[in-house]
Structure 1
């Protein structure tokens, strides 16, 4: 084997992302290998992390060559597996402890409170299996309305706004039925870490209650290299009117420069304090324009896969460049505004049913024609004919995303106009609709 080749192992590598990775600067020096089949992390909500770690370790140990980097570009379970695998094989990554200070939502809030307390909502942890949970939340000083989510959440799944006791009861029933899908594998990870006693007591089946925060939502994409915190782009997260479901992610941000600068300063302060290093991350913020106040929503210990195409369209390269460079010990070099478009977005084509059966989706020919009519557009259908919507993984609590649509344009206004024209031609049909 060529000794100059760097062997990069990607957890959950699929063909689409292999092509992206192979187009990055310096990729010609790398050979990309999959670790764990993509179906095991994309097409299921059942994650046996212990078995996946065992399988990954065996595959890496059996490899005839050097293991130079182990990377991923997904949230749970991939993000939490990486530090464990990297430590076993001596490759670069943040420590498991620093990663959990971001991903364990209660621990993360406790650590954030030490340095950015003015930018956090009131919060408390609670056990959804405790009959007195609502009383304990009230005793902690939280009253309606508030938001609840698991200690380890994935996307917007099992997140609920609570305005009444009935809302809370509905959320509790869902949480009790489904939280184990994330909690059980997350506990496998927690068992491998040294946790403070007060954090260890709040295991994976616990939830968070937080005061409602809101405003203009965005995500700061960044990385830490040898202790240096760098923010390289801010992506806006825009929701459908009157609901919690995302409509589209847009890059670059339309926030005032002074607000963007303040968010980057907060990002540097909190990531330094956590001790997170040698990895990509992103932090979600709100800017309350009325109060001119910035709120920190949560920290994610990986770049957003949803944003890869946005950076490629606007800056000229997917920000997977950052993850690859860091894994190989190189200072990342992201280009700036060298892409084909001035603005780009990922749109979520949604329906707001409780459930339904899909009886028609756009054909391959229809999708190809739409992509040709809107140059640069990529359409990824999320459902198939005959599928029941409630079987879709990783959905929020209020809607179902039928398609993801990435588009670019010369202005934010033109971007929305183009999407509306495209969406009018995306034809889905349903039966057994539960409204």
Structure 2
């Protein structure tokens, strides 16, 4: 570290992550600067060239050294970090390696070159008169755009009727992210297998079975390190997350297999000096694992969990790598043995009322040790107007809990939900509570 504070520009810096960024090891010597808002970066159909020019204007006008450029969101942030870091001479992985993660079809092709732990997959022609599943794929399957946010436009389908409905819905909305991504693809020398694929492509994959698990890591000096394995637990009979829990309860031999697969894939696709997050399925019945998707960034959703258990949020690894420092994360030096991020969801549309003010949320957090609460909607907001939701539910609050047992995590979550007292009206009858 130099004697002066170092300037870190964060694409999409938000209030929710600022405290955890400041809690990272060494962050007392850092000054964080917002480089565009998350709303500018992700709302509507993004215009990448315009966003890059606006970011460059901010960086060029800054009169001190730019020491690091970082981000913890998906496209366009992930790709913009790679482009801007190269231009301003700060450490980052290459744009090509980011795109090989983020373009779900290209990512599958790359995975296929080095591992077998992935589902059968293929492309779906959205423009065909009668779109059909790729040859050799069987129901049930998932249809998803090659690019999307937070499972947006991802549909599980059981038969041809559901397949056709999903194709229609994806066709209506795929341009929002897919069209801007084509600008990024134009910046690369694409391999023959990606000729003509573009950004507005729909992927079909056979449904994976088992329990979902996330692996977080980084590549530094050519060596892949996995610093955390987390369980992802769904609501009963649902594909929507109920909570992420750290550390994982999977057997150590399974976790080691996940680490090995993650390391082989990330080094193969040229990942370097950056964090990553890979989502897997593990099927205990067959003792098999498969990659669901690769994220070209660590998960900001997990920052508090690492802070609760390891003593430092996972933002530490991102910051250290971007500054050329040692990214090693402390191990089990936090206050709690376990931690969870809970997704309080509503499964029908509604209009929110009785959202507690900030001072009331702060009171709940003081009264229940080891919790943090983020309410997603604002007063009188319709749930279906909230962006970046999955296709089956609405996130109304994120509740972080630390504890020494699963029972303690759940008890704290239940107390928080009760204390929030969030209310919802049906959208067509605003004055009737649902």
Please classify the TM superposition score into its range, dividing by the shorter chain length. over 0.9
**Following superposition, which runs of at least 4 residues in structure 1 exceed 4 angstroms of deviation?**
none
* C-alpha displacement of 1:188: 1.8
**Alignment partner, residue 31 of structure 1:** 31
Asked if residue 321 in structure 1 is aligned to residue 316 in structure 2, the reply is yes
SS at match of 1:425: helix
Q: 1:411 to 1:3 in 2, by over 3 A?
A: closer
Secondary structure of 1:424's aligned partner: helix
Offset at 1:385? Answer: 2.0
Cα distance in 2, alignment partners of residues 246 and 236 from structure 1? 10
Deviates more, 1:396-405 or 1:182-191: 182-191
2:157 is equivalent to residue 183 of structure 1: no
Is residue 340 from structure 1 mapped to residue 339 from structure 2 by the alignment?
A: no
The number of residues matched between the two structures is 428
**What's the offset of the Cα at 1:432?**
2.9
Q: Is the 8 A contact 2:20 2:303 kept in 1?
A: no
Q: CA deviation at 1:318?
A: 0.6
Identify the residue that residue 212 of structure 1 maps to in structure 2: 207
1:93-128 Cα deviation digits (max 9, x unpaired): 1111111111111111111111112x1111001232
1:340: how far off?
Answer: 0.8
Q: CA deviation at 1:131?
A: 2.5
1:130 and 2:117 matched: no
1:79 corresponds to: 78
Question: In the TM superposition, what is the alpha-carbon distance from 1:366 to its structure 2 partner?
Answer: 4.1
Matched, 1:59 2:53: no
Structure 2 match to 1:14 = 14
1:187: Cα distance to partner? Answer: 1.4
Q: How far apart, CA to CA, are the structure 1 residues paired with 2:21 and 2:156?
A: 38
The CA deviation at 1:363 is 4.0
**8 Å CA contact retained: 1:127, 1:205:** no
Q: Structure 2: which 5+ residue stretches go unaligned?
A: 429-433
1:271-290 alignment to 2 at 5 Å?
A: 271-290=266-285
1:388 is aligned to 2:388: no
2:118 to 111, 117, 120: 120
Is it true that 1:429 corresponds to 2:423 in the alignment? Answer: yes
> Relative to structure 1, is the Cα distance of residues 422 and 4 closer, same or farther in structure 2, using a 3 angstrom cutoff?
closer
Q: 1:407 — aligned with what?
A: 401
Q: TM-score with structure 2 length normalisation?
A: 0.94
Secondary structure at 1:14 match in 2: coil
Deviates more, 1:262-271 or 1:32-41: 32-41
CA RMSD of aligned residues (A): 1.8
Return the TM-score normalized by structure 1. Answer: 0.94
Is 2:308–2:336's contact at 8 Å kept on the other side of the alignment? yes
**Deviates further, 218-227 or 407-416:** 407-416
| 1:357 equivalent among 351, 355, 362 | 351
Indicate conservation of the 8 Å contact 2:23/2:313, yes or no.
no
Q: CA deviation at 1:390?
A: 1.1
Unaligned residue ranges in structure 1 (runs of 5+): none
SS at match of 2:59: helix
Q: 1:216 to 1:94 in 2, by over 3 A?
A: same
Matching residue of 1:49: 48
